[in-house]
Structure 1
Amino acid sequence: MAASNDEIEYEYPSVIRIYKNGHVERLRDTDFVPAGTDPQTGVSSKDVTNIVPGTEVYVRIYLPNLTNKYKKIPLVVYFHGGGFVVSTPASATYHNYLNLLAAETQVIAVSVHYRLAPENSIPIAYDDSWAALQWVISHSNGNGPDDWLNNYADFGRLFLSGDSAGANIAHNLAMRIGNSELGQNVNISGIALVHPYFWGSNIIGLEAVDPNTKLLQDRLWPTICPSNPDNDDPRNNPIAEGGPGLTGLGCKRVLVCVAEKDFLKHVGLVYFEALGRSGWKGAVELVETEGKGHAFHLYDLQCDKAKELMTRVAAFFNN
């Protein structure tokens, strides 16, 4: 007998519900906010489609209101969070945040929509994001298909950033860039990882995580990556024994941001410490926000702690 819609295979509360018959129910960030000019920040945005032909992969580009139209500004390629299973650049959560990010840090931002799991399992999110990055890089000589990137982006100050799963993507693309074959034409100044989603089977500190939360996280990677369901897959656990390590990270600077009450705080700290002692030749910084939880800044953009975090991110991009 075929499974009915009522039989649940996996549920992450308030995020996603996956049924045994393949039906997927997303529980947040399913809204769509059109691109345009934001009245609060003055930031202009537009969507560019057909990044990966035949798919729904697109980018939303954000251009701040510039006083000097002839000065090029840092370029940030941003990957949204959502556990690889929810959200898009057009959801209000990310559209509002990217408007503010572009305005406050004075960068041109490219927010990437990659295909979501479980319908599109790992490594599709990484491959889509890599293709979007390659599309962005195609503008580095000033002759790409998009005028905003040609005219305003300083490719000498190119950064990758993201929160949660998006930070995981930014890290993994930087590792891919560090591969001499794959990254030979890509030069990244730095990556800003905000509350990064990493996991693993035996990371010191995870024993403090609530057992139910840990169980949900233990099941997430096998759900989105059935081809390699091991939680110590190096894409999920960058410091896994036997993995490639961190010395090949293909950028000069890294900013790691964690939050005191985030269940992912410990893996973020372990990543920061491991990178610092790995032999990687770059500089790594740590920012910890007291009293806040995972991705708090996305949902309360104007709170003091969110403003402090934005200030640190702005300094990283503009240093």
Structure 2
Amino acid sequence: MAMDSSSTKPAIAHDISPYLIEYLDGTIERQGTERVPPGFDPRTRVTSKDIVITPETGVSARIYRPTVTSTANKKLPLVLYLHGGAFVIASPALPYYHNFCNSLVGSTNAVLVSVDYRRAPEHPLPAAFDDTWAAIQWVAAHAAGDGPEGWLNEEVVDYNRLFLAGDSAGATMVHHITSQIGGSGLDKRVSIEGIILIHPYFWGRDPVGSESTDPRREMVDRWWLYVCPSDKGCDDPLINPFADGCPGVDQVICERMLVLVADNDVLKDRGRLYYDAISKKREKGKVEFYVTQGKDHVFHIFDPGCDEAIELRRKLGGIQNRNIYY
């Protein structure tokens, strides 16, 4: 076996830094594998637990619920959350995401389901997309009050106030879910009140805006071609919402939408392009675009205490409380 001259490790097959390194012998070094257990969080007074969604694939989720579950007999909104990680790293149990979900649930008084979808390269795309579609079907199965998970069958959940939210790769999958609901029958069981795309991971072969001069463009190309080595490359409909074969923005079914980008993020112009296209299809006041100045991709996960992250969570709480504008 070929070996690196500087170490005893096998030679590198794929270097997808900073996320993952795959060696020729098939072993993988992956970032973002730390895990914290569910349970009661005294800081936010939120309780969480892990459950299995699809036994056949092992897909699971971490469910969060606030201590104060209802007020004046008012049911709580339900959030289906899809974490980021370029389809190769992270999970709901990663401390960054676990803490974010606790904070979000504690500040918005919502019930939240964070999906642990399968990751590449062990499970090549579209496995993650299939898993998130299975997750929304699983959630919808509780709308009649007889689903398998008791926390979601309780009277506190309002299935007419379902929100789909995600950051980075998770936001990409939120777009695909909401564009497939029409005609699937799910729209007869649940009502998607809003979708929230945080720093969506959209891409494409031809540069948009400042991408043409951004040195990070080659890196993003490399990441995507690793997780989805299709003949369509960076114009695969899984990553480019304007590519042939991708569900169009006019097929996205929801009452309201919030698209957030970060000013220093290489993906920011893709988020703006998406917002511009979808806002032409919707009534004024139904979609909002928000730019966080001076911050980079998913800063709110890595620096949750900064003023900008607090403001971002306030934005998320605003759309859930039917107050999209401030």
Normalising by structure 1, report the TM-score.
0.92
Match of 2:168 among 164, 171, 178: 164
Q: Compute the displacement of 1:46 (Å).
A: 0.6
2:47 is aligned with 1:44: yes
Match of 1:159, SS state, is: strand
Distance 1:275 1:3 in 2: 50
CA distance in 2: counterparts of 1:43 and 1:304, whole angstroms: 22
Equivalence for 1:82:
85
Q: 1:200 aligns to what SS in structure 2?
A: coil
Query: Structure 1's 67 and 117: CA in aligned 2 closer, same or farther, altered over 3 A?
Result: closer
Q: Partner amino acid for 1:153?
A: V
Alignment of 1:200-211 (within 5 A): 200-208=204-212, 210-211=214-215
Rounded Cα–Cα distance in structure 1 between residues aligned with 2:3 and 2:59: 31
**Aligned-partner residue type, residue 35 of structure 1:** P
Work out the CA distance in 2 between the residues paired with 1:13 and 1:219: 10
Is 1:149 the equivalent of 2:186?
no
Distance 2:291 2:261 in 1: 5
Segments of structure 1 that go 5 or more residues without pairing to the other structure are: none
Match of 1:293 in 2: 296
Q: Between 61-70 and 136-145, report the one with greater CA deviation.
A: 61-70
Query: CA distance change for structure 1 residues 248 and 167 in 2, over 3 Å: closer, same or farther?
Result: same
1:8 is aligned to: 12
Equivalent residue letter for 1:246: V
Q: 1:82-161 to 2 correspondence within 5 Å?
A: 82-151=85-154, 152-161=156-165
Aligned to 2:315: 312
Could you list the per-position Cα deviations for residues 230-278 of structure 1 after superposition, in whole angstroms to 9, with x for gaps in the alignment?
211122010225644211112221110001111111111111111122x
Per-residue CA distance 1:47-73 (angstroms, 9 max, x = gap): 112x11233310100001216464310
Mapped contact 1:247–1:281 kept (Cα < 8 A): no
Distance 2:3 2:170 in 1: 33
Q: What is the distance in 1 between the residues matched to 2:271 and 2:213?
A: 13
Unaligned segments of structure 2, at least 5 residues: none
When the two structures are aligned, how many residues end up with a matched partner? 314
| Alpha-carbon distance change, 182 to 202 in structure 1, aligned in 2, over 3 angstroms | farther
**One of 164, 173, 179 as aligned partner of 1:175:** 179
Task: Please say if residues 140 and 186 of structure 2, whose CA atoms lie closer than 8 Å, have aligned partners that are also in contact.
Answer: no
**What letter is aligned with 2:203?**
W
- Please give the alpha-carbon distance, in whole angstroms, between the structure 2 residues aligned to 1:244 and 1:74: 27
Is 1:232 the counterpart of 2:235? The answer is: yes
RMSD: 2.1
- Amino acid across the alignment from 1:24: I
1:226 to partner: Cα distance: 2.7
Query: Could you report, residue by residue, the CA deviation over 1:108-147 in whole angstroms, capped at 9, with x for unpaired residues?
Result: 0000000000110111001111111111111101111222
Report if the CA contact (8 A) 1:3-1:20 is conserved.
no
What is the CA–CA distance in structure 2 between the aligned matches of 1:35 and 1:242, rounded to whole Å?
39
Counterpart residue number, 1:250: 253
Q: 2:193 aligns with which of 170, 189, 193?
A: 189
- The secondary structure found in structure 2 opposite 1:181 is coil
Instruction: Confirm or deny: 8 A CA contact 2:165 2:197 kept in the other structure.
Output: yes
Aligned to 2:264: 261
Q: Which amino acid aligns with 1:119?
A: E
Provide closer, same or farther for how the CA distance between residues 182 and 141 of structure 1 changes in structure 2, counting only shifts above 3 A.
closer
What percent of counterpart residues are identical?
45
In structure 2, distance between residues paired with 1:227 and 1:22:
21
Aligned residue identity for 1:256 = V
SS of 1:293's equivalent? coil
In structure 1, what residue type is equivalent to 2:14?
Y
Q: Deviations over 1:268-300 (max 9, x none)?
A: 1111111122x3568221011111111111112
Are positions 1:221 and 2:231 aligned together? no
The whole-number CA distance in structure 2 between the counterparts of 1:235 and 1:242 is: 9
Aligned counterpart in structure 1 of residue 62 of structure 2, from 50, 60, 65? 60
Contact in 2 for aligned 1:102/1:108 (Cα 8 Å): yes
Whole-Å separation in 2 of the counterparts to 1:150 and 1:64: 15
